Structure 1
Amino acid sequence: MGYNVKRVLIDQGSSADIMFWEAFIGMKIPTDRLMPYAGTLVGFTGDQSSYSILGGRPTLNKLGAVVSTPHLKLKYPLPGGKVMVLCVDQEIARKYPAEDVKEVSLTEGRTIKIGVSLTKEDEEGLVTVLKINILAFAWSASDIPGIDPDFLCHHLMVDPRAKLVIQKRRKFGEDKRKAIAEETKKLMAADHI
């Protein structure tokens, strides 16, 4: 194997895996490996994809893969106990930025960002739905005060046999300290901490 494939999208929310014809041919995969699909594929706008491959849950599950979004890596086990790591070429990733967005005001002080590729009709429909349902969104911690910790609480899964380690104290600059204090006050005012 050993092919470089540019523009692969790993979508952990997708139930479909798609390899576009150019990538299929470029990787010299025999055509007898093609499998027909009789189901319905929903979600494409008819625009040409800028990706060569769209990988979803079926591939991730079959590989037993783990995705690390912050590190732009995908790891999966190989026979013999080895681990394969797929990495993003940072230079290529910088050449292809995410879709351009624009800021739209829903009401005074409440703005969102939406993709510029939406048709005028889709944009108007989306903005209308968001404006009608504006109260369904939490814009800050104070918008959702007093959440019962029994209903929603984060727990760290720590092995009780693990040795405790004291982390080195971090020193933050004045701006960071102010931001941390401000966010902590907001969470305390909303009874989240």
Structure 2
Amino acid sequence: MEIDNQTVNTGPTLSFGPEDLKGVSSNHNDALVIRAMVANYDVARIFVDSGSSVNVLFQEAINQMDLGQYKMEPVVTSLFGFTGHAIRPVGLVHLPLTLGKGNSRKTRIVSFIIVDALSAYNSILGRPSMTTFMAIASALHQKIKFPVGNEIGEVQGDQVIARKCYVEEVRIEQKVTRTDRFVRPGLSSMEKFNLIEDTVVTAEEEIEEIMICPPSGMVKIACTLEAQLKQTLLECLEKNKDVFAWSVSDLVGVHREVAEHKLNVIKGCRPIIQKKRHFGPEKDVVIKEQVDELLRAGHIEEIHFPTWLSNMVLFPKSTGK
């Protein structure tokens, strides 16, 4: 992959080769996450996203920076993610961004959209910043390259931080329910942002529940399906209802000859027994119901003298339960 900047500016040809893969984990699918100087602040966890049409700076990062000398401008449009929800930006600010080190350093003024939302990242560099620096980014090579006079400047990505950010981003998304996204949108920095005019949020698609396998075999289908398609779908579900697990007891598991899960615990580690936690009356009832159901299905069994013990971990469903 290479680009020749001679048509727009006298400078070197930017290219990536096998030598740029040195130190990069093989067979990865990591995002390109870098650190750079923003308004003379060393900012880590910057996600480089060539699919974003704007540069984003999250409010949490702004709160840790003294930007009194930089005037924030109002933004009348909304940011719109590919998942279908929009968010009103706090404002727009023009800040100096520095990429590279030493003699291969380059500084340009970049426009950032300020967003007040939960994120594992401090900032997102989109297409505008890449164009400003005449840079090309390669997630495969975990590197950005840009011309600095007749030299080539580079910024190396951090795969360890990128993976930590991914895990944290997933956790953030799990905390934001579908309802929350309409009331107080939780903008994910993994999304591709596009600056658009205000949009109207449409209602969710209406669904209806139909009993396929009494007493608990309920399915949900869209009310907008054509009559013939709906009938075909219901016939298919009725014909194949035995392949679904309608209850925990229907999950008979996979034979150990086919697949077996093992915990690769380091030898010599001391077993840990956690003290029993009390989650409160409401959660304790949920835990008891789930445990009793697994006991009846034969998926778990009781032991009286454990050598290793960990407390339950509860996560809310998308419905808020």
Shorter-chain TM-score: which interval?
A: 0.3 to 0.5
TM-score, normalised to structure 1, is 0.46
TM-score, normalised to structure 2, is 0.31
If asked which structure has higher relative contact order (CA below 8 Å, sep 6+), I would say 2
Choose between structure 1 and 2: higher helix proportion: 1
Choose between structure 1 and 2: higher strand proportion: 2
Q: Name which one, 1 or 2, has greater alpha-carbon Rg.
A: 2
